[in-house]
Amino acid sequence: MFVPLSVRCIRMAMTGVLLGTLVGCASQITIRAAAPRTPETIFSPLPLPPPNAIRTQTGRPGPDYWQQRADYDIDATLDADARVVSATAVIRYYNRSPDELRYLWLHLEQNLYRPDSRGGQRGVGGSSIPNRDVNTNGMEVSFVRIGGRDVPLRVHDTVARLDLPEPLAPREGMLEIEIGWRFEVPRLGDARMGWEQTRNGTIFQIGQWYPAVCKYDDVHGWNTLPYLGQGEFYSDFGRFDVRLTVPRAHLVAATGVLMNPEEVLTAEQRVRLTRAAASPSAVIIRGLDEIGSAASRPAGAGPLTWHFVADDVRSFAWAASPAFIWDAAGITERGRVPSERDGTVALPPGTLVQSFYPVEATPLWFDNVTMLRMAVLHFGGMWGVYPYPTATNVNGVVGGMEYPMIVYCSERMNERELFEVTAHEAAHWWFPMVVNTDERRHAWFDEGFVTFMTNYAMRERRAAWFDPREWAARVADDLGRGGQPAATRSDEIDSGAYGALAYDRTAWALYCLREKVLGPQRFDDAMHEYIRTWAYKSPQPADFFRVIEDAAGCDLAWFWRGWLYEDARLDQAVVGVRQRGENATATFENRGEMVMPLEFLVRYSDGSSETRTTGVEVWYASDRCELSWATGGRRVREVIVDPGDVLPDVDRSNNRRSGG
Ligand SMILES: [Zn+2]
């Protein structure tokens, strides 16, 4: 999801207020050293879980790697007037684990909006997400059957235990569950779903709306962390075959491919869609002037059923409204991607890129298909081709949220903001929609990656939209204030710091790793290896660290520890410069808890200059180091540490020193 900069900066703003006015409380925010780590140092190996035959020492899935699979056939009906969704589903659950299962756990995430939910009890300030201004009855499950027999469901807040009549056998045991449920659509459900009344009708944006089998894995067993609002979701891949029955006037956007265009679109719209699939620029499927026109919907009376199928996805979301303008364009580039289903290589025939939005979002959204297409191509070029047949953005009440093949985005006025959110959500199609990380535990593990990716897309769209100096200064302001580390568990992150930690600090860590530690080639080789290795699988943070270190060929424990697992400060200083004959010597100090390689600019009095760099090893034995180099007879005028102002150095006043 997307946390706007105004929210991402709350913590800094609050800290400033405290410093200025509440001296008595200053102990809460006094800058202090991280906890002493002797005899461990910043360079000690990380205490990672021991490797095994499931997750190996090189961070790859081992010969015994397994993951579960869940396929969903869903029939849902939207009562647009009552704003109620009623549905039935057949869930086919495949137990590929070595364990016999006597019960399953399900997520019933709509229960978050019940007035007595655990997430609701956290109250205002318990979550960074503006939410639940309207309560609902949550998910009302009408029946659960296995083998035609009713089975009891024990509901505990947003999770429910389903005891099986017969144990589910290990390794390819399969179970079919029939289930029926309904829920009222909350006006805004934790900024991830909701409805909005627009001039031409209600826009429904639906997500986290069906009973989803919790992920059972080799690390935690059943992943039953409740849905509290901040932590997102973690699930298995599967096939979704979904029929959505909505009023005839509605257009529907959803995860997957529309299987029955001849039943739900006009002949003219089908012609336009075919044209769009081959067009690099936007083709109007339904235009502004066609909204409300009966001719823009198939003739007849009564509701229509839209049928979507999606393969190899970890969730399914959809949006419906009579108010939609619909634009589309095509990406025809082909790519090679692994397929989770059968382990073979699939060749997607291309991607249909789509935007759905109301008149209120014009004129800005007339350009959104172009923005989205550019973002998908940008990320595809940098991190691996987009593997899915559709890529859709829907404008409505949801600020910014990602689901497989479909994202939601509320911005209607500001071009930069719209591009940033569009690109951010599209980047989530790589993390965690393909590389399936556990968002409910590790927000940094996808939000930080996605924010990092978005910076490069912003720069490509408009160079001025990405300013490394501004980023470094913002991250530096947030370091070492005695707060939480970036890798704090999603729901435990202080709400005001959620954006600063999971998004910005992690994104800046990856930027510095790429630009200042490994260099782009070495970083990209390693990151490509990580993505290729874990596409359609579920890596843990330890797997990521191990793959990157293995594929980049270097030890980075100091980096992960300083940036992710401690609230460490970086303060590099140059404390002395002297010159003897043809040689110059500069003395540097590392005054914070974090370490980074040294980069410094030497300016000579003849007007020439050079940039010199070291590895991080200069800090192995001491926080002080001396570096000498041949000047070729030139006089050193000045030495400047981190001359590009890219590192989050908390004190830049000691980064510059005149020659002796
Ligand atoms: Zn996000």
Separation of 404 CA from ligand 1 center, angstroms?
13
Structural domains for the chain: 5-62+470-504+518-565 (no CATH), 69-458 (2.60.40.1730), 572-658 (2.60.40)
- Give which of 552, 570, 553 is closest to 561, Cα–Cα: 570
- HEC string of 324-364 equals CEEEEEEECCCCCEECCCCCCEECCCCEEEEEEECHHHCCH
Q: At CA 298, angle to CA 297 and CA 303, rounded to 5?
A: 85
Exposed e or buried b for every residue in 413-430, given b needs 16+ CB within 10 A? Answer: eeeebbbbbbbbbbbbbb
Q: What's the CA-to-centroid distance between 138 and ligand 1, angstroms?
A: 25
Task: Supply the pLDDT for residue 32.
Answer: 41
C-alpha 260 to ligand 1 mean position (Å): 32
In the chain the first and final C-alpha atoms are separated, in Å, by 52
d(CA 138, CA 301): 31
Distance 3 CA to ligand 1 centre (A): 7
Q: List, as one string, the DSSP characters of 554-573.
A: S--HHHHIIIIIS---B-EE
Q: What is the pLDDT, as a whole number, of residue 228?
A: 87
Q: Which among 410, 416, 419, 414 is positioned nearest to 373, based on CA atoms? A: 419
Distance 168 CA to ligand 1 centre (A): 36
At residue 40, the pLDDT reads 84
Q: What is the pLDDT of residues 472-530, one digit of tens each?
A: 999 999 887 778 998 899 888 888 888 888 899 999 999 999 999 999 999 999 999 99
pLDDT of the residue at 225 = 92
List, in order, residues 6 or more apart from 259 with CB less than 8 Å away. Answer: 307, 308, 309
Kindly give the distance from the C-alpha atom of residue 423 to the centroid of ligand 1, in angstroms, as a whole number: 10
CA of 185 to the centre of ligand 1 (A): 22
> From start to end of 488-582, where are the E strands?
572-580
Per-residue pLDDT of 411-463, as tens digits, reads 999 999 999 999 999 999 999 999 999 999 999 999 999 999 999 999 999 99
- Tell me the CA distances in angstroms from 218 to 50, 215, 227, 426, 636, one per residue in order: 13, 10, 21, 29, 58
d(CA 394, ligand 1 centre) in Å: 15
How far apart are the CA of 426 and the centre of ligand 1, in A?
9
Residue among 45, 9, 1 nearest 501 (CA): 9
C-alpha of 228 from chain center: 17
Check residue 649 and report its DSSP letter: B
CA dist 428 and 446 (Å) reads 7
Rounded to the nearest angstrom, the distance between the alpha carbon of 539 and the centre of ligand 1 is 18
The sign one gets for the Cα dihedral 141, 146, 148, 153 is: negative
What does the pLDDT read at residue 334? Answer: 52
For 148: left if phi > 0, alpha if psi spans -120 to 50, otherwise beta; the answer is: left
C-alpha of residue 402 to centroid of ligand 1, in Å: 7
Distance in Å, CA 23 to ligand 1 centroid: 36
What's the 431 CA to ligand 1 centre distance in angstroms?
9
* 318 neighbors 406 (Cβ within 8 angstroms): yes
- Give the span between the Cα atoms of 269 and 283, in whole angstroms: 10
Quote the CA–CA distance of 85 and 184 in Å, as a whole number. 6
3-state secondary structure 171-185: CCEEEEEEEEEEEEC
Q: How far is the CA of 396 from the centre of ligand 1 (A)?
A: 17
| CA 443/CA 327 separation, integer angstroms | 32
Q: Which two tokens stand for residue 312?
A: 């190899």
Q: How far is the centre of ligand 1, averaged over its atoms, from the C-alpha of 151 (Å)?
A: 37
Give the Å distance between the CA of 233 and the centre of ligand 1: 12
CA of 502 from ligand 1 middle (Å) equals 9
- Which tokens sit at 29? 């925010």
How many angstroms separate the alpha carbon of residue 401 from the centre of ligand 1?
7
Quote the ligand 1 centre to 419 CA distance (angstroms). 14
> 3-state DSSP call for residue 91?
strand
CA torsion, points 18, 20, 26, 29, in degrees to nearest 10? 60
CB-based contacts of 417-422 (< 8 A; 24+ apart in sequence): 417/4, 418/364, 418/365, 418/368, 418/371, 419/371, 419/375, 419/457, 419/458, 419/461, 419/465, 420/2, 420/454, 420/458, 420/465, 421/2, 422/368, 422/371, 422/372, 422/375, 422/393
Distance of CA 4 from the midpoint of ligand 1 (Å):
10
Q: β-pairing, 69-79 with 238-246? A: parallel
For residue 451, report the distance from its CA to the centre of ligand 1, in Å: 7
Distance 1 CA to ligand 1 centre (A): 3
How many Å lie between the centroid of ligand 1 and the Cα of residue 448? 8
Q: Which residues of 556-574 are buried (b: 16+ CB within 10 A; e: fewer)?
A: bbbbbbbbbbbbbbbbbbb
pLDDT at 124: 44
Ligand 1 being an ion, which residues bring their Cβ within 5 A of it?
1, 447
Helices (H), 109-220: 118-121
Ligand 1 center from residue 430 Cα (angstroms): 11
Ligand 1 centroid–CA 497 distance in Å is 15
Ligand 1 centroid to residue 425 C-alpha, Å: 6
Do the beta carbons of residue 162 and residue 177 sit within 8 Å? yes
Tell me if 326 sits within 8 A of 251, measured CB to CB: yes
User: CA 88, 90, 96, 102 torsion: positive or negative?
Assistant: positive
Distance 449 CA to ligand 1 centre (A): 9
Q: Which residues pair with 644 in a beta bridge?
A: none
Angle (CA) 480 485 486, round 5°: 115
Edge-to-edge, what's the strand order for the sheet holding 636-641?
Answer: 609-613, 599-604, 636-641, 656-658
Separation of CA 411 and ligand 1 centre (Å): 15
Cβ neighbours around 439 below 10 Å, total: 25
Q: Check: CB of residue 619 under 8 Å from CB of residue 595.
A: yes
Residue pair 200/292 in contact by the 8 Å Cβ criterion? yes
CB atoms within 10 A of CB 519: 12
Contact call for residues 455 and 472 (beta carbons, < 8 A): no
Q: How far is CA 381 from the centre of its chain?
A: 18
- Please give the distance, rounded to the nearest whole angstrom, from the Cα atom of residue 338 to the centre of ligand 1: 24
CA of 238 to the centre of ligand 1 (A): 22
Write the DSSP string, 575-634: EEEEEETTEEEEEEEE-SS-----EEEEEETTS-EEEEE--GGGGSS-SEEEEEEE-TTP
Question: Tokens 């590099």 appear where?
Answer: 572
Tell how far the Cα of 156 is from the centroid of ligand 1, in angstroms: 28
CA 450 to centroid of ligand 1, rounded, Å = 7
Contact 404, 316 (CB under 8 A): yes
Q: List the chain residues with pLDDT less than 50.
A: 7, 9-33, 124-132, 335-347
Distance 337 CA to ligand 1 centre (A): 23
* DSSP sequence for 425-443: HHHTTTTTTTS---TTT-T
Q: Given this model, what pLDDT does residue 308 score?
A: 97
